[in-house]
Structure 1
Amino acid sequence: MTDITASPAGYDIHNPSITEADNLLGQYIPIHYHFQMLEDQARMTGFKAALNYLLADGGKVLDMGAGTGVLSFLAAQKATKVYSVERQADLVECANALLTENGCGDKVELVQGDARQYLPPEPVDVVVCEMLHSALLREKQLEVIESFKQRYREKFGGTLPIFIPNASILAVEPVSADFCFQGYHAPIAFFEDPGSLSTRYLSMGETKPYAILEYQADNAIELSFDGLLSINENGCFNALRFITKNILAMNLEQGSTIDWMNMNLILPIKHPIDAKAGDQFQVRFKYDAGGEISSLINAIEVIKA
């Protein structure tokens, strides 16, 4: 059995070996959080199903942002070769040990490097990139994929691999949020499980998509919304719910999709509003994918129409 418990760098969130360069791809994600992602059944079953559907036996795969290596492992069940790149040294060490432990170290070539600069030595059939965060904030999913497509075309020609996810859909919804905790008022950003909506955050109206990002297409890094949100419930309109749905694979013949949703993001608006059913509000915001949550909070404008 391979010992995966020891690491010279350690797994502390305050690990002094983590430099500013390590944060270029987004937030530094401590290894214990990657372990928690292994327990996300919707994530794991979704990516496994997408790989089983889209990857032909004997295909070749690139995994950008390998983390613990689990998606490389799933790909290796059908692929003859998986190229995998991960920036964080402690994760590379952990993933190498786990991949060997799981009997696919010979199929997976794991490289420590920047996914925005790495290219596999040969064309691949499928690219897996799970640098996904609510509203596509904090992690550099779009930047990494856009950089990859440009460099891949230059090296291998115009035909791109299949991407998992195929697309991400971003939407926004007005909510009435209870920001009071044992008498302590805290109107700050919160996350919400999309599979079990909290009674703290009640929908007040329609949900509107503001971005549909197909990863095969070219996408701008800047994301924005300038539109009307209609209210259908009386109450205090004091927050927005940001919804992120990832289409991992599409079965066009059956008209079905394999989906996975990031956590919903609840963000307060600057000035709570006593709203009534039938009211409409002009909502505007603009931010860069991969930016900090604060960049979106600060950009939100809400005006009664």
Structure 2
Amino acid sequence: DKERVKAFQRAIFETVKKGDIVVDLGTGIGILAFFAVQAGAKRVYAIEQGDIIKIAREIADKNGMSNKIIFLKGDSREISIPEKTDLLISEIIGCFALDEGILELVSDAKERFLKEKGIIIPNSFKMWLAPLEAEEIYNQKVAFWEIPYGVDFSPAKERVINCTWSEEIKKTNFISKPKIINEVDLQKVENIEMNKVVTFSVERDSILHGFCGWFEAKLSKGVLLSTAPDGPLTHWRQLFFPVKEPIKLDKEDKITARVSTTRLGRSVVYNWFIDI
């Protein structure tokens, strides 16, 4: 995903000062830790739960960075480091920003790892929502389960309508102007749960098949990473929230949507409810 990687690279080079101490949550293959070293970091603590950390170590060796990166395998909430850091980097971002538990992990890391005036990348999120008419996506993900192949799969459909789906969604599918449903400042996380309500005014006669969600992440003062439908495509694409059954709407009808989060272990799942 070039858009994502290039955006983080620009933000890291814009933010890291020579001699900085950095912590990278969910380092994966290590790319953001490597950028931090290239940008002048004195030392990077790269934390990762998965076995991919072994490959990250090999890449660090291959590129002469092993003396500046300390790889730590495990859950960041169960790991300690011996010094406070100037910068906390995390790319634990889901399709609708919060899905991978970034709020809980960053809140813990900020408290234990970051200096009082330390910086976080990303700095903040704006989460957008728009109602949409998207028959093709709905048919592929939901209606398909009604009676395919002469078999009643309705129990599967009941589960499918409570799932979100990463899809490439067009702005032309919107039936109302999108609205910001949530804003998060990672420097000042006070509540790791989300429970927000937003109301839309329908702009044309249409059929509601669900909602489209995406985010804007402010990575640094000069770098914004967006997954909006009218922007460059990223691996996140957009998130489709289906309705139980398509709903016929008239122009100027009002749609109220409530979106909340529930934590399941380390992951976060979304709950959504609508009122017409």
Q: TM-score range by the shorter chain?
A: 0.7 to 0.9
| Alignment map for 1:49-128 (pairs within 5 Å) | 49-77=10-38, 78-88=40-50, 90-128=51-89
Q: Which residue of 2 aligns with 1:191?
A: 166
Q: Measure how far apart 1:135 and its partner are.
A: 2.0
Matched residue, 1:164: 121
Aligned residue among 230, 242, 258 for 2:224: 258
Counterpart position of 2:194: 223
Spell out, residue by residue over 1:39-92, the C-alpha distance to the aligned partner (whole angstroms, 9 max, x if none): x1111110110011111122121101110011111111021111111111x211
Structure 2 counterpart of 1:302, which letter?
Answer: I
- Give the corresponding residue for 1:180: 139
- SS of equivalent residue, structure 1 residue 227: strand
Distance 1:84 1:100 in 2: 14
The two structures have a TM-score, normalised by structure 1, of 0.74
After superposition, where does 1:236-255 map in structure 2 within 5 Å?
236-251=207-222
Residue segments in structure 2 that go unaligned for 5+ positions in a row = 146-159, 228-235
Check 1:98–1:293 CA distance in 2 against 1; reply closer, same or farther (3 A cut): closer
| Change in CA separation of 1:160 and 1:87 when aligned onto 2, cut-off 3 Å | farther
What TM-score do the two structures reach when normalised by structure 2? 0.81
Question: How many angstroms does 1:122 deviate by?
Answer: 1.4
- C-alpha distance in structure 1 between counterparts of 2:226 and 2:131, whole Å: 22
Whichever residue aligns with residue 86 of structure 1, its letter is E
Which structure would you say has the larger RCO, counting Cα contacts within 8 Å and 6 or more residues apart?
Answer: 2
Q: What is the distance in 2 between the residues matched to 1:242 and 1:190?
A: 10
1:134 lines up with 2:95 in the alignment: yes
Counterparts of 2:19 and 2:98, CA distance in 1: 35
Give me the whole-angstrom Cα distance separating, in 2, the residues matched to 1:260 and 1:131.
Answer: 15
Cα distance in 2 between the residues matched to 1:226 and 1:98: 45
Query: Do the aligned residues in 2 keep the contact of 1:236 with 1:272 (CA within 8 Å)?
Result: yes
Aligned length: 249
- The answer as to 2:174 corresponding to 1:203 is yes
Aligned CA RMSD, in angstroms, stands at 2.6
Evaluate the alpha carbon distance shift between residue 160 and residue 111 of structure 1 in structure 2; reply closer, same or farther with a 3 A threshold.
Answer: same
Choose from 260, 266, 270 the match for 1:286.
260
Identity of aligned residues (%): 23
Q: Deviations over 1:76-118 (max 9, x none)?
A: 1021111111111x21111111121222122111011211232
Change (3 A) 1:112 1:294: closer
